[in-house]
Each structure stands twice: as C-alpha cells, then as structure tokens.
Structure 1
C-alpha cells in the first residue's frame, strides 16, 4: 500500500483536497486499495481552509516512525503574506528524506523552497507568483510556464487545477498509463495534460468582450488546418471585413491575423507535446504553410524552434 500524507496548515487552499479524488478513483480502477490517504498537520486536530471550512487532521508523526510514501503540501492563497510555520519547515526537512517523494501543489512550492527542498532543482509555480518564488529563492530553477515539474523525488505544480494533472502523473508512474487514462475518463478530465504544457491559453489571453468575437475565435480554432482570411472570419459572424477587423482589434488588442497565428502556435505546441507526429504533419494540421513557416512562428512566439520543444518533452519523459 502506498500511503499519501497531505500536509495542511491554517489557510490552506481547499482545491488541493480535490486531488485526493484522483487517488480514490485509482483505487477503484485498480480494484484494490493501492493508495491510503490521510490529512496531517503539525499540531493535529481541526485545520481551517481559506474558505473557513475545517478539516480534521492527524498530528504529523516523528520522522523515524513515519510510514508515509508521498507527502503533498497544500498551498495558500497568498504565500507572500502567509509564511509557512517553522514547525512545518522543520518537519518537511526531516520527513522528506524518508519519503519516496514530496510534492507542492501550487503555492505549496513556496513551503518546499523555504524548507530548502528545491535548492538546485527545477520547479514550477502559478504564473502569478513564479517571479516572487525566483526572487526569494534564487537557488531554485523556476520554470514559470509549466503545468507541473518532476525533478527527482520532488514534484511541483502550477495553479490548483494543475495539481490534478500532477496527481494523475503520480498514478501513471505508480500504476501505469492505462490506469491513469481510465481515472481521467472517470473524472471527466477530457485532456491529460503533460508536465511540459504551457500554463497559458491563447484563447484566455485574448479575452474578447462579445459573443460575436468569441464565436469568430471558436470558428478559427475549429478550422486551423485551413488558410483563414479576415473575409472568412467576418462572414462567419455576419460582419463586414472592415467592421470585423475594427471590432476584433478593439476587443482583443490584436489583429485577426496575429490572433490566428497565436492559436496555430498553441495548437502546434500541444501536438508536439502530446503526440509523436512528424513536424511536417503538425505544421500541416495546424495551418502553417510548411515546417519552415512553423519554425519561424515558433522562434518569433516562443523564442525556440519546435525541435527544442520536442527535445525538452522527451528529456522530461
């Protein structure tokens, strides 16, 4: 049996507990109680979440008596204002050496960093706090555009929902890809995101204010494999090309052509991260003229060519 201990402190973000469902359904799929999940705190007893909901916890065991295989540290809403208690840091320093792995969900990574567990390691963090993590802990190799990162026995995730991807990756590591796929299906996780996937969404970044422009973006995303003109997008939402370009730029801050290229880049990057398709095929499926055109867009948009993204994914795997 693999024992998972959730380490909670007052003000913990309640979304961290949602990851327990991943392990719960892994037991269901595996047909055996492979995981045992327990909530801990340094003092034991009731611990209040950021929402005010209380969770009963066990007192953390003496490190020499701990049987926990995986420690998962829950984050808080504002890690800059809510420093981890010294007793929590001391416990993690002692217990991490006896555990198989330790993880920080979202801002739980700050707790790992304060405990010194991220020194010299790669780690990720929610984009809003990634720069603060790097400034406060310069010895940590922060990669602020990743869903989760595994560096040896230390795991970190970006935002709270990325914790679900991290938990699913743990299940895949422990029980295999088929069990992880089945768990994702049962939890209606339509897309199992890889650790190297970007935290950012081009559709969210554009943030159109009207349904009409949102519909134009949806139309573009569904038809990326084709050449898309302003005239076609305008016709799809019943506007003249001139009016469409004016409204689109006013609502998104980008021209239609630039926005479509961003959607193509995002789609191509996902295909590179999640498939083994040749780059020529990916370029064609995402609407670039050819592989060279896609490379130029990648260097312009990401600062690296597509081959570098694929090499990084293979190295992480």
Structure 2
C-alpha cells in the first residue's frame, strides 16, 4: 500500500539555547495530527530538525536535540520554523543557517519565528515590511535591538502573508494548530490540542498573558519590582515589603516608578492584576470569586468595584461582550 504524501512538511532550525517547551509544543501538535490516535507515525505531517553540522543543539534547560538531516533545499518543506531562546545566544546562529533562511525566502517558502526566532528572522533582513509577534517579556529587548520597529506583543501569534511568528511557550501549540487546520483540517487541529489537554484552539488575536504593555520599561529597579508583583499576584506585596525585598527605601522605589512609568507602585500593581483578570475572564467559565482569589482581590465585591472603575462595566458583562465579539462572523 502506497503511503500518501504528507500534507504539511515542516523544517526546524534550533538556535543555541533554544526554548525546549516552545519546540516541543509545536512538534507535538504536528505529531498528534499526523496519525490516528497518538500512534505518532508521520503520515499527514512530516517534521525534521535541520543543521549544517549535525551536532546536537543544547536547549536553554540543557536538554540536547540531535538534528535529523542537513540543510539542503528549503523548498522540500512547506514552512521553515526558527525556534529561538535566550536573547544573548541568538547571535551564535551559524552563517549557513542565515544563508539557508534567505534561500527559503527566495524560493517562497513561508518562514516562522517562534519565541526569539523572530529576532533571528529580523536580523537576517527577512521581516522588513512585515508585522511580527514577540513575547511581552522581550518587547523592550526588540525595541532596543531594532530601532523604530514596534513588534506585536499583545496577541499570541501573528500571520502576515508568508511570515508567521508567535510569542513562544504555549502559543507555539496554537500556531502549529493553525497550520494543521489550514493544511489538514480543523478536526485534526482540535484532536491534537485535546490530547495535549488544551481546551480550545486560540486565534491569533488572543492577548498574551503577562505585563500590560504600558508597564514595559528598561529601568532595572522598576523591572525587578514589576516581576516581583507579577510573581506574588495572589498575595500582593505592600509597597514597604516590596521595597524591602528589593533592598531599597520606599521613597526611592516610588521615585523610580514616577520617573519610568508616571505612576505609583500601587497603581502599577493594580494594572497587573486587572490585566490578569481580563485574561482569566476570556479563558473559560471561572467564577468571579475564584478569579478574585487568584488575582489578589479580597473577594468578588472588591474585584467588581475595581473592574468597574477601570472598565466601566462588571466582569461578567465584560466577559459576555468578549464572547459575543468572538462569536461574530468575521
């Protein structure tokens, strides 16, 4: 019996110290869509890790992945996916990789940047005139690296013609599911995500969880404070406790926030927690009381007051409006 040709062929380039979970999520969606059940035969999808040297590539967590084959002709793939990782390491991508990516672009093969793979594509001159997605965590790094170019950091992935990009982590599964849906069908995409215990496929426009973009800054003390706020969301730190943990006085911390963001630490903390509230409201049917507990509000009444003050409506009304917007035909 003749094996049918795969409908989706992906070639992966792994940057030194790449993010393992972003790569694994992408591959597992392909694996589960490629065969019946979870038998993992690469029938409907085919994926290969490419390298000019065939040396194992170390991920940021230390796990090494051995390439499958050499670079060769990029046109044998439907997409070339570049998986980035630690920002300080992406400059170590070999010149052969960059030449291969440029050949792929010249041959019309769509290019995909995952995590800081977007940085790599941009450095190679392959994102000029395109929109590109980067993680909120790397938003300021991108602005610093590429003067005058503003990346998309308020949604989980971006599709702009023959350039696709995502923020990494779980979003790589959703971008892979988008490609499976496009080339194999929605049932295969749903099946992959269901086996991976992912409730539903998220569209590109789904906002990234993380710090609100208005709180991005390069000021070191304020950055550390914002991350500490995010990590203690269920039990918010008082300003005195936050300053103590950071080893500075309260007045110094407040002065740095005023200079960097034009607000107090308490106001920034409220914005972080309300951003997470909006994220959770859009992710299913969690009760307002449960969301309040997970985001550091005293109870549902406290959350409703704060949310109404910020949004002009209640959390439940906001959720229904968002669900109605998502269900509306495009």
Judge same fold: TM > 0.5, yes or no: yes
Provide the aligned length of Structure 1 versus Structure 2.
Answer: 247
* Alpha-carbon distance in 2 for matches of 1:32, 1:114: 32
Q: Compared with structure 1, are the counterparts of its residues 46 and 256 closer, same or farther at alpha carbon in structure 2 (3 Å cutoff)?
A: closer
Asked whether the equivalents of residues 46 and 54 of structure 1 are also in contact (C-alpha less than 8 Å), the reply is: yes
Contact (CA 8 Å) 1:124, 1:144: kept in 2 or not?
A: yes
Secondary structure of the corresponding residue to residue 59 of structure 1 = coil
Question: What's the RMSD between the two structures over aligned residues?
Answer: 3.9
Unaligned regions of 5+ residues in structure 2, if any?
1-5, 212-228, 237-264, 285-302, 315-320
- Alpha carbons of structure 1 residues 267 and 5: separation in structure 2 relative to 1, 3 Å: same
Shift of 1:37: 0.9
Answering whether residue 217 of structure 2 is matched by residue 207 of structure 1, we say: no
Provide TM-score, normalisation by structure 2: 0.62
The answer as to 2:122 corresponding to 1:113 is yes
Query: 2:72 aligned to 57, 61, 72, which one?
Result: 61
Distance across 2 between alignment mates of 1:141 and 1:259: 22
- 1:34 equivalent in structure 2: 44
The equivalent of 2:59 in structure 1 is: 49
1:261 CA displacement = 6.1
Cα distance change on mapping 1:186 and 1:101 into 2, 3 Å: same
Instruction: Return closer, same or farther for 1:160/1:258 CA change in 2, 3 Å cut-off.
Output: closer
Larger CA deviation: 161-170 vs 191-200: 191-200
TM-score using structure 1 length: 0.64
Aligned ranges 1:213-292 → 2 under 5 Å: 253=266, 265-266=278-279
| CA distance in structure 2 between the partners assigned to 1:52 and 1:259 by the alignment | 32
Deviations 1:230-267 (A, max 9, x none): xxxxxxxxxxxxxxxxxxxxxx9479998996566445
> Is 2:25 aligned against 1:16?
no
SS of 2:10's equivalent in the other structure is strand
Say whether 1:85 aligns with 2:94.
Answer: yes
Map of 2:160 onto structure 1: 151
Aligned mates of 1:107, 1:117 — CA distance in 2? 14
